[in-house]
Every structure is written in C-alpha cells, then in structure tokens.
A and B are shown apart, each in its own frame.
Chain A
Amino acid sequence: MKNRIQLSLFLLPGLLLYVALFVFPTLTGLFYSFTDWDGVSPSYAFVGLDNYKDSLSSIVFRKAFGNNVEFMLTVVIAQTFISLVLALLLVRNTKTRIVLRALYFLPAILSSVSVGLIWAFMYDPSIGLINYGLNEAGMSSMARNWIGDPKIAIYSIAAVQVWAHAGQMMIVFIAGLQGIPAELYEAARMDGGSKWQVFRTVTWPLLAPSATIVVAYTTIQSFKAFDLIFTMTDGGPNYATEILTTYIYHTAFGSYSFGLASAGSMIFLVLLALLTLLQFKALRADRVSY
C-alpha cells in the first residue's frame, strides 16, 4: 500500500502536466468545436455539428488532407529506407563510423524553423545553392523551381523532412542491429545463405521491433508536420503544400474561425489516433522471435 502511494506520488507531476497540457486543452478544443467562437469575442453560440460538416465538405480541408497523406507516405517510405541503409552501412566497425553517425544525426538537433528557413533559401530558383550547384556541375536540366512548382513542392519539403530526421531513425535501427545475436548470422552463413538471404531471414525479422518504432514515429511525425511547411511555403503555392495543421492554423488565426479550427483539430486528432492504432496492429503481426 505504502509502495503504491509512493509510486503514485512519483507519477503525479507527469500526470498533472499531461492533464494540464494535453487533456485540458483537448477537452476545451472539443467544447469550442461545437461553437461559432471567433477566438476573440466573449460570447459564442452553439452550432451543433455544423463545424464538422463544414470542415469535411471544405475544398481546402480536403485538399489539405490529400496533401497530408502524400507527404506522410513519401516521408515514411523514404525515411525508413534511407535510415535502414545508413544503419546497415554504419553498424560496421569502421574507423569513420562515429564521425559519419554524428554527421547524419546532426540535422536532428537543429530547430525545424531554422532548417525550414535555410532550406527555403537553398531552394530559391534564382539565388539558391541547389540550382546554382546543379548549373555549375553541368546538370542544368535537373534545376527546378523546387518549392514554387505546385507539382513538386510537397516532395521538396518531404526531402528536407527526411534529411532532418533520417539520422535520428538510423540510431534506432543501429540499436536494433546491435541487439541481433552474432551466432544467428554465423549459422545463416554456414548454411550457405547469400547476403540478401541473411538480411531477409535474419536481420529484417529481428529488426521488426525497431522498424515498428521507426515507421510509427515517422508516420506520426510526418502527419503532424507544421514548422517546416509553415516556414518554407506556408501552404503554397496555391494550396499545393497546405496540410491539415497549416489549414487549422490559418482557419484559427487568419480567419478568426476558432470553432471551425477546433473541429478541424478534433478530426485531425481522430485521424492521427486511428493511424497510430493501425500502424501498431499491422507491424506487431510481423514480429518474429527465434
């Protein structure tokens, strides 16, 4: 009994923070999502489910949702693949591995606002480093209007998101790789397995827990992206990079439609929760133990 009270006391600060910073704002948001509150006036009226209907039928909301899915899928696929490749290359006991690991991890410690501002500058079609570099290297045909062309803008930002976080996910994969017993590799090799067979039958199944973490984390992180898009394009050009979080921000603070933005946030929260749930269910089924 005494132990339980002590344990509760230790949990209490965290629990209080969780209630104050997550549960309370979420419930407040839920309440306002049924009102027409503009975020400023002392008064508001209850509008039932109108905000939810308006959000779901909004052209911009639907476009933002589509962009969200496109952005998330691009980031999840690219980031998982690149971080896995980096981990496989850098798990070996080479002299340069520590320096290289640090280099790849470095972007993760930078503020995403700074990253967004710097990359927006690098992507500039006339004075940016990327097109300049391509032109100087004789690859002018590859120069693009990176964040100004609605067809590729979202992928250009996804590339920055991957650059910023692949190193972080690489560390998760390296931890997973280091946990695989060496005997299993020896046995597989003695059985005459090729590199690909060893990877497919030993490495990948035993990396499933790490992959679960990487995919789940990347999914959530890319689905709720905001800073990079806000600083690089603010949803433009012509809604090409508008995602749900920027839509919610613009609705609340650009249009003073706090009730509508709250309904958008609630829909976003449900989508995110469903996505996380599906992720864990799907990836847990793949786990293998030897």
Chain B
Amino acid sequence: MKKNKKLILPLVSMLVMSILLSACGGGDNASSGDNGSSGSGKVTISFMHWRGEDVEALNKSIDAFEKENPNIHVEMQTLPSDQYQSTVQSKISDGSVGDVFASFPGAQFEAFTKAGLFTDLSGSSFLSAYNPKLIEAGQHDGKQYAIPYQLVYNDPIYNVKLFEKYGLTPPTDWEGFLALCQKLKDNGIIPIAFAGADIGPGQFMNTMVMNNAPSDDIFTKVEAGEAKLTDEFWVKTLTQIKELNDKGYFQQDALGTKDPAAGALFIQEKAAMLASGSYQLAQNKQQNPNLEQKLLAPITVSADQAKYEGVHTTTFMLAVNSKSKHPEEAKKFIEFLSNPEVASEYANQTGQNVTVNDVKYDTPELQVAGEWASKKTVFQPRFTILNGDNQKAVTNSIQAVLSGTSPEEAAQQAQAIIDQHIGK
C-alpha cells in the first residue's frame, strides 16, 4: 500500500505533464490533420504566411488549384506579421507545417538560409514566369531559395491634382525638390506627410540615400566595416533630411506622428506627398476616391549625377520547406501561383503589384506602380542591412537629427552601435 502511495505523485505528474504538453503542441495545427497523405491518397500541404488581409484572394486561388489538382489539399495558416517574425521558425523547423511558407527579405531570409530551411528551387521551370531582376532577393550563393511574389515601390506618393493646381512636376534634382516643397508650403499645403514615429525613417531613407551612395551594396559594406555611416553619403543624407525638417517641409512635430496620422494628412489632401510606398496607394484611394496618385522619388543630387529613379522591394517570398514531406506538391502550388492569370487575380484583388511577368492590372493604382517597372530602381537599401540592430541604428540616426542632434553626431552615434556589432 505504501508503495502504491509513492507511485501516485509521479503518475499524476506524468499525466498532468502529458496533458500540458499536448495542449502546448496542439495550437493552430490542431485542425490540420496529419498533414500528409490520407487513406484516399489525397495529400495535404500547409501554406503558412503573414498576410491575413490576402486570405480571401488566396482562398480563391487555392480553390482553383485544388480543382486542377484533386489529389492535393492546401491548408492555409496565417499569423500577424510581428508574430510571424518571432515564431514562424519554431513552427516550420520540423516540417510538420509550412510545406510552403513565406519569408521576409533581409535578416529573416538570411537566418532561414543559414538554418537550411529552404529547398533549392534553382532550375524550376516556373521561374521563367518571373522578372529575373525582381526575384534576386530570394537568391543566396547563386541558388534560388525563395521567390519574392510581391513588388513594392518605396517611393513617396504624390497628389497629382494638387501638383497640377500649383503647376508642379516631379523634379529631377535636389534644388528642384526644395523649390517644389517651398511652393507647396507657400500655398498652405504640407509638402511631405512624414510618419517619423514609426515607418517614416525606414521608408524615406531609401530614396534619400539611393543617389547619395549610388551603389546597391553600400550598407553591406557598412556591415562589413568597409564603409562607415560617418562617410559623406550618410552624413549628406541626414543633412538633407534635417534641411527638409528645418524648412518646415514635413508636418509639425513629425517625430511624434505615426503611420495612420501621416496617411490621414495625405488622404485629406492637407499634404501633397506621403513618405511611404506603393503599398499604400489602394488604401488611400479607398478612403478618398477623389485622389489621383502617382509616385515620385526625391533626387538628392544634380540631374546628371542621378543614377537611380526610385526604390523597389520584393517581398512575400514564397519558399518550399526543406523538411516538407511533400516537396513536389508544394512546388506545384508555387507553380500554380506563378501563372500570370492567377497572379493577376491575386494582384487585382489585394491591390498589390507582383513580380510575375505579363500580369494585367485593373486599377489605376496598380497601373501607377506598374509603370515603374521600366524605371531604373534599386532594391530597398534598408533591407540590405541584415542585422536588425544595425537597421535600427541607421533609422534612429534619422530620428536623432529630427530631434535636434547634428547630422555628424547622429551618424557617429549610429556608427558606434554598428562598430560594436562588427566587433562581435
């Protein structure tokens, strides 16, 4: 009897522990069955991403895919983007979910590559459906590990009617840009709505730096210790951003303004430009159907020195999990999404431009961004900074100058943080 009593404690512990662990492991995978072949020979693949807003459009694509491939069932799981950033690796690392998954470019893509989470898609026939230049962000050591599906132009948006009203056209040099801002200000219009508290610095730095450092690897050099933020290119960029702020070309107290508030100033036509990107065009139009919008990049140098006309980012990078039990079915799904007709439907329903060739855009907003395909754009410089802390140091130096620190000092402070990371 005494022996039995001694057994109670470990037995109950085991029982409770197993309940706890099974509860922890269940989570969002509970409804996905065994994520493999069922008795009927039907294969279930899991598709994991962060774009909850695209679920409706993607469900239509999935329905069409399942009709075409009756033996494959796609189960879609989405997580909010900040959670996706922090938890997706633990979910997909054993291959039980995320046969097809999405990755952000930059730091996450690098970490996933290092961890061997990607299947090499090099040589897949469906790659020919994409603009080769626009899927480079998914390459590493010459291998295509992921396919960036969405295309964003990180150039400020401008109000066409307001520009026409004051006889303005997108300038081709820095002096022209300053004159344009002054004209708007003189007429009581905020020249640039700037979300300095969150997305503003990270978005605006791209077009501001693209010609001050006309190279696509300047920040790679900074992270390698071969260039410094105290070099002319970054101090000049900070000086010019400070100039815009000091001259009152951003709205007052721009450093305390968040994305929705800056967006509201543009949507209400109080501001003529919005320092964000093409991803916001559709949303702006939805809130103010009278808006006529185009993209414009400030040229920070003289017209003859300008190498780039704007900035692009390719993101929502689709990949096949290297631990997937059904890699062929997963590739088949990506192949389906690569079809121009499917991609057109996705683009027009979600209001996002895509990297697939021959896509037909229905709305003026998508066409506006589409026009930029022929322009000379550089991949978003901020995303070439692979360490998140370094990225933050760079964007924070913009916030520092907006709060009164001199460009030289702000650059020095940011470089000191980067130096610490390089030293590790």
- Enumerate chain A interface residues (CB-CB to B < 8 A): 5, 8-9, 12-13, 16-17, 20, 38-42, 50, 54, 57-60, 120-121, 123-128, 145-150, 233-239, 249-257
CA distance A148 to B264 in the complex (A): 18
Q: Contact string, B387-424, partner A, CB cutoff 8 A, digits 1/0? A: 11111100011011011010000100000110010001
Q: Which residue of B lies closest to A61 (CB)?
A: B420
Residue B324 interfacial (CB < 8 Å): no
Contact: A148 with B196, CB < 8 Å? Answer: yes
Residue B17 interfacial (CB < 8 Å): yes
Contact: A127 with B261, CB < 8 Å? Answer: yes
Contact: A39 with B16, CB < 8 Å? Answer: no
Residue from the list A40, A149, A236, A250 in contact with B89, Cβ < 8 A = A40
CA distance A261 to B13 in the complex (A): 32
Q: A40-B112, A125-B252 are in contact. Are A60 and B389 (CB under 8 A)?
A: yes
Give the contact-size bracket for chain B.
35 or more
Q: A149-B256, A256-B107 are in contact. Are A238 and B399 (CB under 8 A)?
A: yes
What's the count of A-B pairs with C-beta under 8 Å?
A: 143
Of the candidate stretches B114-122, B130-138, B343-351, the one touching chain A is B114-122
Known: A9-B12, A149-B253. 15 other contacts (CB 8 A): A9-B8, A42-B93, A58-B420, A124-B257, A124-B258, A127-B264, A128-B261, A145-B256, A148-B197, A236-B396, A237-B255, A250-B388, A254-B389, A255-B389, A256-B110
Q: A237-B396, A254-B391 are in contact. Are A125 and B420 (CB under 8 A)?
A: no
Q: Which residues does chain A contribute within 8 Å of B255, judged by CB atoms?
A: 145, 148-149, 237
Contact: A256 with B111, CB < 8 Å? Answer: yes
A selection of 25 A-B contacts at a CB cut-off of 8 Å is A5-B9, A12-B9, A12-B16, A13-B16, A16-B17, A38-B114, A40-B89, A40-B111, A41-B111, A42-B93, A121-B260, A123-B256, A126-B252, A126-B261, A127-B261, A145-B253, A148-B197, A148-B254, A237-B255, A237-B396, A237-B399, A238-B397, A254-B391, A256-B111, A256-B388
CA distance A123 to B253 in the complex (A): 11
Q: Contact string, B236-279, partner A, CB cutoff 8 A, digits 1/0? A: 00000000000000011111111011001100000000000000
Q: Which residue of B lies closest to A230 (CB)?
A: B82
Contact: A38 with B111, CB < 8 Å? Answer: yes
CA distance A238 to B400 in the complex (A): 6
Contact: B197 with A12, CB < 8 Å? Answer: no
Q: Which residue of B lies closest to A51 (CB)?
A: B424
Quote the shortest CB–CB distance from B409 to chain A (angstroms): 11
CA distance A264 to B258 in the complex (A): 29
CA distance A126 to B420 in the complex (A): 37
Q: Which residues does chain B contribute within 8 Å of A148, judged by CB atoms?
A: 196-197, 253-257, 403
Q: Which residues does chain B contribute within 8 Å of A13, judged by CB atoms?
A: 16
Residue B309 interfacial (CB < 8 Å): no
CA distance A238 to B396 in the complex (A): 4
CA distance A82 to B203 in the complex (A): 41
By secondary structure, the A interface counts as loop
Residue from the list A42, A50, A59, A236 in contact with B417, Cβ < 8 A = A59
Contact: A254 with B388, CB < 8 Å? Answer: yes
Q: Which residues does chain B contribute within 8 Å of A250, judged by CB atoms?
A: 388-389, 392
Contact: A125 with B389, CB < 8 Å? Answer: no
- Enumerate chain B interface residues (CB-CB to A < 8 A): 5, 8-9, 12-13, 16-17, 20-21, 85-86, 89, 93, 107-108, 110-112, 114-117, 196-198, 251-258, 260-261, 264-265, 387-392, 396-397, 399-400, 402-403, 405, 410, 416-417, 420, 424
CA distance A16 to B108 in the complex (A): 35
Quote the shortest CB–CB distance from A101 to chain B (angstroms): 34
Quote the shortest CB–CB distance from A18 to chain B (angstroms): 11
Quote the shortest CB–CB distance from B177 to chain A (angstroms): 23
Residue from the list A126, A236, A255 in contact with B265, Cβ < 8 A = A126
Q: Which residues does chain B contribute within 8 Å of A16, judged by CB atoms?
A: 13, 16-17, 20
CA distance A243 to B321 in the complex (A): 36
Q: Which residues does chain B contribute within 8 Å of A5, judged by CB atoms?
A: 5, 8-9
Q: Which residues does chain B contribute within 8 Å of A124, judged by CB atoms?
A: 256-258, 261
CA distance A95 to B59 in the complex (A): 58
CA distance A146 to B265 in the complex (A): 19
Contact: B5 with A126, CB < 8 Å? Answer: no
